[in-house]
Amino acid sequence: MIRLLFNVAPDLYAQYRAPILDALRRRDLPAEAGLPGDIAPEAVDYIIHATGGPVTDFGVFTRARAVLSLWAGVEKIVGNRTLTQPLCRMVESGLRQGMVEWVVAHTLRAHLGTDRYVREKPVTWTQHVPPLATDRSVTVLGLGELGSAAATTLAGLGFRVTGWARHAREIAGVRCLAGADRLPEALATAEILVAILPETPDTINLLDAKRLALLPPGSCILNAGRGSLIDDTALIAALDRGQVANATLDVFRTEPLPADHPFWSHPGVTISPHVAAATRVGTAAEAIADNIARSQSGAPLLHVVDRTQSY
């Protein structure tokens, strides 16, 4: 019998407990689950984790084989020094599809200038014919599970896509650049800039005043990675001088975004409340069960976080 500890808020326990146990049962892996206090720490085999769970000392789970995050972003747990077990990020098809849909929607919105017609009332009969996607350059920062899927889909729509990551890679239809010294090149062509990077010591304030100044005048920014990637004050300044025409932000340094934050009232900012890509219970339960099944059979866990890199 596998014992799962859910280090999550009670509402998430209610959502995920049965789907994960069912998914394990279908793999002939009977399991029981509980919240902290329900299972003796030394009897726990796996920890299902999401920010908001009460456990902060993972040292007591001496038998635990892995901590499996329900979320793709792990910046709040990755630096926990008591965590000696492998930490696995969430990678699942629903999350990926959601991110692709959000990025495509807001890229097309920026590309077509749709806001002009949605916001102008009454509509004036003024025609603004946008270029075709084949004449629009989009840069995607971050080519991981989510960024590479978004970049591939944008390329499939015909956009001229540049992607940027730490390591060199090849993605069909995408000009891939790697490393800090290629970032200026990636920014210089970014009429639409899509950020899907994790928060790490290297990515905090990556888009500061100096880097924002490298964007083509009138560019659009979409941030679905983490709020800390962009210097808020520098972004407001770039918006005010027209360097950046508009920014669609899904993630913020403080969430919920405080009511007095200037983003709320800035006409160039569209806010979505961290909804770009949600973990979907059904597909996530399958992904977690797959990873536990691998571990139980002696196969290496998937999507293990490299703690030296914080993602």
DSSP 180-193: GGGHHHHHHT-SEE
Q: Which stretch binds ligand NAP (CB under 6 A): 36-44, 58-66, 111-119, 160-168?
A: 160-168
Q: Is 100 in the site for ligand NAP (CB under 6 A)?
A: no
Question: Which one of 37-45, 80-88, 110-118, 199-207 is the stretch in contact with ligand NAP (CB under 6 A)?
Answer: 199-207
Scan residues 47-86 and list those touching ligand NAP (CB under 6 A). Answer: 72-73
In terms of CB distance, is 41 or 144 closer to ligand NAP? 144
Residue 224 has which token pair? 């679905």
Stretch that binds ligand NAP, among 20-28, 39-47, 159-167, 235-243 (CB under 6 A): 159-167
Q: Which one is catalytic: 136, 274, 294, 303?
A: 274
- Site residues for ligand NAP, 276-305, by CB under 6 A, read 276-277
Question: Is residue 200 a contact residue for ligand NAP (CB under 6 A)?
Answer: yes
Q: Which of residues 179-198 bind ligand NAP (CB under 6 A)?
A: 196-198
Residue selected from 274, 284, 286, 292 as contacting ligand NAP according to rule CB under 6 A: 274
Whose Cβ is closer to ligand NAP: residue 41's or residue 227's?
A: 227
First and final CA of the chain: distance in angstroms? 31
Distance between CA 215 and CA 191 in Å, rounded?
A: 7
- Residue 128 annotated to the active site: no
Spatial CB neighbours of 143, under 8 Å, sequence gap ≥ 6: 151, 163, 164, 165, 169, 171, 174, 176
Of 300, 297, 293, nearest in space to 25 by CA: 293
- Residues in the interface with ligand NAP (CB under 6 A) total 28
Q: Catalytic: which of 65, 226, 241, 253? A: 226
| 8 A C-beta contact, residue 140 and residue 102 | no
- Among the listed ranges 18-26, 44-52, 118-126, 162-170, the one in contact with ligand NAP (CB under 6 A) is 162-170
Q: Residue of minimal CB distance from ligand NAP?
A: 144
Q: Is the peptide bond before 10 cis (omega within 30 degrees of 0)?
A: no
Measured from the CB of residue 201, what is the shortest distance to ligand NAP in angstroms? 9
- Of 61 and 164, the one with the shorter C-beta distance to ligand NAP is 164
Stretch that binds ligand NAP, among 2-10, 56-64, 140-148, 284-292 (CB under 6 A): 140-148
Binding positions for ligand NAP, 213-242, rule CB under 6 A: 224-226
Token representation of residue 161? 């896509």
Catalytic residue at 274? yes
Amino acid at 99: M
Binding interface with ligand NAP (CB under 6 A)? 72-73, 95, 142-147, 165-167, 196-200, 202-203, 224-226, 250-251, 274, 276-277, 311
Task: Tell me which residues are annotated as active site.
Answer: 226, 274
